[in-house]
Chains A and B, each alone.
Chain A
């Protein structure tokens, strides 16, 4: 089975700081990659996704992620975080099939 690692469990940043959250996966074949966000008390919402093409993917709310195949990574970035970005972030991987595998999540706290 696929393994998805999110190395940062809890990140605390001040507003306007830059963000990078790491995500690595284990499967070496063709994968679809996703970042989801979960605001407090809410369900998961899609931030961005990669299926093919340009490895730099732009999502909603100024987030982007870069797929580096050689490193099995799909790191999430945002140049300047806001207090409203406080949430939990999940990386997910879908192989050529129907199962999705999620990382354990990274809790982001942005201090005003």
Chain B
């Protein structure tokens, strides 16, 4: 158990509404990531964070914003959800920089109607 909690685990929303997904970790690791998983695309990085208020964009960041005001929480926000953002979202942490692997949360399934 990597001590990662994602919420909500499932959400259905309508196009145009804002959505925030939360990733919470219990061990104060510096590096946190948001990925989306889609059939045929594998996992694609949305944003990642390397400390409080330190974030950077990944390969599919358009339409998403993130915030990290506390070490333990990394929030992913869809300001105005679109159907193309229907996906499974995974949060990950990297306990050891440079040589460590990622540990993943359970995922949040988002459906945008």
B90 touches A102 (CB 8 A): no
- Chain A residues positioned under 8 Å from B94 (CB to CB): 98
Question: At the interface, is chain A mostly helix, strand, loop or mixed?
Answer: loop
> A49-B101, A51-B99 given as contacts; is B107 within 8 A of A102 (CB)?
no
B44 interface residue per 8 A CB criterion: yes
Q: What is the bound-complex CA distance between A99 and B34, given in angstroms?
A: 11
User: How would residues 86 to 113 of chain B score, 1 for a CB under 8 Å from any chain A CB and 0 otherwise?
Assistant: 0000100010011101111111000000
Q: What is the bound-complex CA distance between A99 and B57, given in angstroms?
A: 10
B50 touches A99 (CB 8 A): no
The residue that A43 contacts in the complex, of B56, B99, B107, with Cβ under 8 A, is B107
- The interface on chain B, measured as residues whose beta carbon lies within 8 A of the other chain's beta carbons, has a size of 26
Interface residue ranges of A23-72 to B (CB < 8 Å): 32, 34, 42-46, 49, 51
Q: How far is the CB of A40 from chain B (nearest CB, A)?
A: 12
Q: A102-B43, A104-B41 are known contacts; what are 8 more A-B pairs with Cβ within 8 Å?
A: A32-B99, A34-B101, A44-B43, A45-B104, A46-B102, A98-B31, A98-B48, A105-B42
Q: What is the bound-complex CA distance between A34 and B42, given in angstroms?
A: 14
A100 interface residue per 8 A CB criterion: yes
B45 interface residue per 8 A CB criterion: yes
Question: Chain A residue with minimal CB distance to B49?
Answer: A98
Question: Chain B residue with minimal CB distance to A45?
Answer: B104
A22 interface residue per 8 A CB criterion: no
B42 touches A102 (CB 8 A): yes
A44 touches B104 (CB 8 A): yes
> A32-B99, A98-B50, A98-B94 given as contacts; is B42 within 8 A of A104 (CB)?
yes
The residue that B104 contacts in the complex, of A43, A98, A101, with Cβ under 8 A, is A43
Q: How far is the CB of B31 from chain A (nearest CB, A)?
A: 6
- Chain A residues positioned under 8 Å from B99 (CB to CB): 32, 51
A99 touches B43 (CB 8 A): no
Q: What is the bound-complex CA distance between A64 and B105, given in angstroms?
A: 24
Question: Chain A residue with minimal CB distance to B30?
Answer: A98
A1 touches B97 (CB 8 A): no
